[in-house]
């Protein structure tokens, strides 16, 4: 029975993926057919194509939330609303747009990835944000996780060590309406001391241990979610909670695979 359920789930995911690909190719073909028209008609066709394309992405985003996120147990309405709103396709390379809502991480260059949608949702839910908290993200990457956080709180700070990714994420955040997110280029191991303390910290790369500066910059009652483990093994997504007496409680959540936590000495 379990094997049958898994097979059914796989078939549903494949069906959703094929449906979105068909929609994407269909509106693209409509746009191509209109290219021989007059300049004015061509502009109208281009606008129509863009509208239809965005509508297709919106449907794909809804399917993503229903089949990948709600189906796996994420229930926080603020998190679900954020995943329904943030245009994930605007945070991936252009050649991967039609795969933006697939149930998988995607490469974004420089050995980095945009995390699987479910993992983004799950890690955000673990932070238990109510709205208005001050949140630090280590590892901006594409900027997508920061945008999801920014749908819940306007006080989002994010650090990226790879300059090219930091610049690209900054532009993506600005272009999608999240210009208020604070970004910084640098080694996330040391956090963002002058803006601390933070109510929550999310780390999107696997580390061998929780960086002590991040523990120090966490408010009493705050939470850190971080993947712990080596770069060539399955890591453990871990929750660290800071008590009012500055003691820490650690909870292992689930096995995951993340790119390694890059330090300044590791960059090329």
d(CA 230, CA 233): 6
Nearest CA-CA partner of 248 in 268, 221, 208: 221
Q: Which of 115, 142, 196, 246 is catalytic?
A: 115
Lookup result for tokens 């059914």: 8
> For residue 114, what is the enclosing H or E element?
strand 112-114
* CB within 8 Å of 22: residues ≥ 6 apart: none
Number of H helices, E strands in the chain: 7, 9
Nearest CA-CA partner of 138 in 84, 213, 70, 222: 213
Tell me the chain's radius of gyration from C-alpha atoms: 20
> For residue 134, what is the enclosing H or E element?
strand 134-138
115 given a catalytic annotation: yes
Nearest CA-CA partner of 92 in 57, 52, 135: 57
Cα 65 to its chain centre, rounded Å, is 13
Token duo for residue 255: 């096995």
Token duo for residue 182: 């604070």
Query: Catalytic residue positions?
Result: 115
């Amino acid at each position: 029975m379990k094997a049958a359920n898994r097979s059914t789930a796989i078939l549903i995911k494949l069906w959703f993926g094929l449906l979105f690909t068909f929609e994407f190719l269909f509106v693209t073909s409509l746009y191509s057919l209109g290219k021989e028209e007059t300049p004015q008609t061509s502009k109208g066709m281009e606008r129509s194509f863009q509208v239809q394309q965005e509508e297709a992405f919106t449907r794909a985003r809804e399917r993503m939330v229903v089949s990948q996120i709600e189906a796996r147990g994420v229930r926080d309405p603020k998190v679900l609303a954020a995943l329904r709103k943030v245009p994930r396709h605007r945070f991936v390379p252009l050649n991967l747009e039609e795969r933006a809502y697939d149930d998988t991480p995607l490469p974004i260059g420089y050995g980095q990835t945009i995390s699987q949608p479910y993992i983004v949702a799950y890690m955000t839910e673990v932070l238990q944000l109510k709205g208005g908290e001050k949140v630090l993200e280590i590892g901006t990457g594409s900027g997508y996780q920061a945008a999801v956080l920014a749908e819940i709180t306007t006080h989002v700070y994010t650090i990226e060590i790879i300059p090219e990714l930091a610049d690209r994420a900054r532009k993506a955040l600005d272009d999608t309406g999240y210009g208020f997110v604070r970004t910084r280029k640098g080694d996330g191991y040391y956090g963002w001391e002058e803006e601390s303390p933070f109510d929550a910290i999310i780390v999107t790369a696997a580390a061998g241990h929780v960086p002590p500066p991040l523990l120090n910059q966490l408010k009493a009652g705050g939470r850190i979610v971080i993947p712990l483990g080596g770069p060539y093994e399955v890591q453990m997504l871990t929750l660290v909670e800071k008590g009012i007496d500055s003691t820490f409680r650690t909870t292992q959540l689930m096995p995951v695979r993340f790119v390694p936590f890059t330090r300044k000495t590791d960059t090329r």
